[in-house]
Amino acid sequence: MPPHSVPPVVVGVDSSTQSTKAVVADITTGRIVATGRATHHVTGDAGARESDPEQWWTALCDAVAAALKESGLPGGAVRGIAVAGQQHGLVVLDRSGRPLRPAMLWNDTRSAPQAAALTEALGGPEAWADRTGSVPVAAVTAAKWRWLRENEPRTAESAAAVRLPHDFLTERLTGTAATDPGDASGTGWYATRTATYDPDVLRLLDLPAGLLPAVAPTAGARVGTLTRTAAEDLGLPEGVAVAAGTGDNMAAAVGLGLGASGLLDHPVLSLGTSGTVYAATRTRPVSPAVSGFAAADGTYLPLACTLNCTIAVDTIATLLGLHRDDTAPGGEAVLLPYLDGERTPDLPTASGLLTGLRRTTTPQQLLGAAYEGATVTVLRALDTLLSICGLDHTTAATRPLRLIGGGTRGRTWVNTVHRLSGRHLILPSTEEPVALGAAALAATAATGEDPVSLSTTWQPPTFRELPPMERDMETWTRITSVLDKATPTLLA
């Protein structure tokens, strides 16, 4: 291909819990030219969930190399790169920038006692929500740092830097310590009220501010360029613009066009390892019931997350010896698949619960009940979130629900969400909204354009739509009744 005909492209990276995806996207149209993937591993039991951050860097390099090879483009065509990463993970580094221990991931529940202690120490849930936007739970990075202080004090004392997963990767790209308001707002030590690290929280945590990265004004801000070492590892030239990047949920919102220059208050439900619901709003959310995150573009992204979604249901399918779509409605059976504790509702020590079992109950009904239990849990979180956004029940029910994530490739997940919500569902054709959102951030770093505005003008993805339907209130009522009655037991 002659040099003058090479289209300029950007690279968007989605470093998630179990794998890394990299997309090469046309900087003008947003068309995904190529995609690369690489896996990494999670270890741990009894509440522990950890990964070696060096795996993330290796996977990033492999995924980018695979995407560039598939695209057939030279490295010189790349104008920018950005990383979106799994939220909340705690990465502690030595003076050379190498991990002192495996990263504690978002779904590591060992820090639940520390989260409860932190909540009380600063005046309770309402005080935390007002100050930082969110209340500490086991997932929040502040609770993990407190756990490290108490359980591995030598490691905490040796830490020369504390990073989130996407911060760690961005620093490897640029040599510069930087984060963004979106992902920082999930740490517990960044206050959305003041848009700064909260000094009182840092004192409470015994966390020196000097260990933390600088906060860029937005996720698409240019925080540096590729270092020589990073460029060699990636097969790209030095000087490629690098954006601050953000958390995976914030990047997905950009990829879907949610934000100040796009859609507001249009809810999203992501079916992945976790079940996540969020919506973009200009008003700072203040409620203990949701995580009041900042968004990538200066708006806010109130979010609620459940721990047990696709992997939990797949586990039930494996136990039953069934294919994941070999299901039937649960009938009288109710199965709450809280196999790893639960985050929403906040039940970190809970386990799965099965009730309503009859001699005539089939394995397919049990699997269907697992889908229903997981779906009702995340849809209840959605109802709470939209209420906090100021939408009454009638108005909220009329908003289309955008359904994304790996679960959307399974017909049972889509059918169960449709049946139990009754909503108008929109399923975007792109399977990589996080990586595409990261690509928009990379384009912002290269061009200075607003990422959400850019995303909405890029080649629009196609959609599959399912019209509203009559909601299955019988199943909904049966499951919510069991959940409400069982919560004290699950907390025990």
Q: Is residue 318 part of a domain?
A: no
Tokens representing 476 are 């909904």
- Asked if 253 and 280 touch (Cβ cutoff 8 Å), the reply is yes
pLDDT in tens, 96-147: 999 999 999 998 999 999 999 999 999 999 999 999 999 999 999 999 999 9
Range of the domain at 202: 3-249
2-16, 412-426, 447-461: least confidently modelled range:
2-16
CA distance 301 to 193: 14
DSSP 90: B
- What separation in angstroms does the CA of 88 have from each of 69, 136, 184? 32, 11, 9
Q: How confident is the model over 414-426, as a mean pLDDT?
A: 96
Q: Is residue 311 part of a domain?
A: no
Residue whose entry in the numeric block shows the structure tokens 């993330």? 56
Split at pLDDT 50, 70, 90, the class of 463 is confident
Tokens representing 89 are 């993970």
Split at pLDDT 50, 70, 90, the class of 432 is confident
pLDDT at 435: 96
Would the pLDDT of 372 be above 70?
A: yes
Q: How confident is the model over 397-426, as a mean pLDDT?
A: 92
Which pTM was predicted? 0.88
pLDDT at 1: 47
pLDDT at 482: 93
State phi, psi for 84 to the nearest 5 degrees.
-110, 130
Split at pLDDT 50, 70, 90, the class of 273 is confident
Would the pLDDT of 95 be above 50?
A: yes
CA distance 238 to 321: 51
Pick from 431, 454, 430: which is nearest to 10 by CA? 454
Pick from 453, 153, 178, 397: which is nearest to 267 by CA? 397
- Answer left, alpha or beta for residue 214, where phi above 0 means left and psi between -120 and 50 means alpha: beta
Would the pLDDT of 491 be above 60?
A: no
Q: How confident is the model over 323-347, as a mean pLDDT?
A: 92
b or e along 405-421 (b: 16 or more beta carbons within 10 Å of the residue's beta carbon)?
Answer: bbbbebebbbbbbbbbb
Q: How confident is the model over 459-482, as a mean pLDDT?
A: 90
- Asked if 435 and 13 touch (Cβ cutoff 8 Å), the reply is yes
Total of domains in the chain = 1
pLDDT in tens, 9-43: 999 999 999 999 999 999 999 999 999 999 999 99
Report CA Rg, the chain: 22
pLDDT at 204: 97
CA distance 80 to 93: 26
186-190, 269-273, 325-329, 429-433: least confidently modelled range:
429-433
Beta-strand ranges (E) seen in 101-201 are 103-104, 161-163, 178-179, 190-191, 196-197
Would the pLDDT of 332 be above 50?
A: yes
pLDDT at 3: 47
Question: Which residues are annotated as catalytic?
Answer: 248
DSSP notation for 180-231:
-HHHHTTSSSEETTTTEE-HHHHHHHT--GGGSPEE-SSTTSEEEE--HHHH
DSSP 7: P
pLDDT in tens, 39-92: 999 999 888 999 999 999 999 999 999 999 999 999 999 999 999 999 999 999
Q: Is residue 10 part of a domain?
A: yes
Query: Which is it for strands 78-85 and 9-15: parallel, antiparallel or unpaired?
Result: parallel
Split at pLDDT 50, 70, 90, the class of 396 is low
Give the rounded distance of the alpha carbon of 74 from its chain centre. 31
Split at pLDDT 50, 70, 90, the class of 490 is low
pLDDT at 239: 93
pLDDT in tens, 287-310: 998 999 999 988 999 999 998 999
CA distance 216 to 477: 46
CA distance 256 to 460: 10
Q: Is residue 484 part of a domain?
A: no
pLDDT at 392: 62
Q: What is the mean pLDDT of the chain?
A: 93
Both ends of the chain: CA-CA distance in Å?
65
Q: How confident is the model over 179-206, as a mean pLDDT?
A: 97
* Helix residue ranges per DSSP H, 300-410: 310-320, 363-388, 393-398
What percentage of the chain carries pLDDT values higher than 70?
96
SS3 178: strand
Which CATH number does the domain housing residue 127 bear? 3.30.420.40
Q: Is residue 64 part of a domain?
A: yes
What percentage of the chain carries pLDDT values higher than 90?
79
